[in-house]
C-alpha cells in the first residue's frame, strides 16, 4: 500500500497570508498564498513521481478552514501532514528557512528531515526547527505534522527568490526529498 502525504498550502481565498506590498526599490508584490500553492503543486508532482499518494487541502485560490484541512487529512488517514508557508516580519532583515512541528518525537523527526533538505536551498540564516504546540494544523492532526516556512516575503532577497519558478521547483524537490526520507521511500529525480 502506497504511503500518503497530505500537503496543505497555507492560506488561500480571502486570506492571502503574509503580504509584501510594493515599496521604494521593491517592484514585486507578493501574497504568501500564491507562493505556498505553487510550491505545493510542484511538491505534489515530485511526490507522485516517487510513488507517494498525495492529497492537498487546496489546489486553487480557495480557503478551506483550519478545521477542514485537519479533518481532510485525518479522514484520509494520511501518513504525514505538511503545511507550506512563507514567513513575514515587521522589518526587512529577517530571512531563512525554518520548520515548525508539534512536540512529539515523530513530528520532530519529520521536521528534522524536512529542514535538512529544504535548508539546502539557501546559505542564509539557519533558523532550524522549533516546537509549536499552539498551531492548530499541527495539534489537530493525528499523524506526524510539520509546517515549513520557506523564507520571508518581507525580505527583498528572499521575496525575489520565492517569486522565481525555478527556485519554487528547487524548494518543492527538496521538500519531496525530506518527505521521502521520513517515509523511508527512495526519492526519484525528475
The catalytic site residues sit at: 149
Cα 142 from Cα 98, distance rounded (Å): 22
SS3 state at 103: coil
To the nearest 10°, the Cα dihedral for 110, 112, 114, 117? -150
3-state secondary structure of 10: coil
Longest Cα pair distance anywhere in the chain, in angstroms?
53
Cα separation, 89 vs 56, whole angstroms = 27
Amino acid at each position: 500500500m502506497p504511503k500518503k502525504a497530505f500537503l496543505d498550502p497555507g492560506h488561500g481565498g480571502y486570506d492571502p497570508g503574509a503580504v509584501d506590498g510594493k515599496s521604494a526599490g521593491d517592484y514585486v508584490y507578493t501574497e504568501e498564498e500564491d507562493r505556498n500553492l505553487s510550491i505545493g503543486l510542484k511538491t505534489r508532482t515530485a511526490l507522485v513521481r516517487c510513488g507517494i499518494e498525495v492529497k492537498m487541502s487546496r489546489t486553487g485560490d480557495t480557503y478551506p478552514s483550519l478545521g477542514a484541512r485537519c479533518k481532510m487529512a485525518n479522514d484520509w488517514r494520511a501518513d504525514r501532514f505538511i503545511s507550506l508557508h512563507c514567513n513575514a516580519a515587521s522589518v526587512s532583515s529577517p530571512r531563512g528557512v525554518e520548520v515548525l512541528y508539534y512536540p512529539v518525537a515523530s513530528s520532530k523527526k519529520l521536521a528534522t528531515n524536512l529542514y535538512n533538505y529544504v535548508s539546502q536551498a539557501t546559505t542564509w540564516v539557519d533558523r532550524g526547527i522549533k516546537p509549536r504546540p499552539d498551531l492548530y494544523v499541527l495539534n489537530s492532526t493525528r499523524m506526524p505534522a510539520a509546517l515549513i516556512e520557506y523564507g520571508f516575503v518581507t525580505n527583498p532577497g528572499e521575496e525575489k527568490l520565492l517569486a522565481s519558478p525555478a527556485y519554487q521547483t528547487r524548494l518543492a524537490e527538496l521538500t519531496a526529498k525530506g518527505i521521502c526520507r521520513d517515509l523511508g521511500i527512495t526519492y526519484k529525480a525528475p
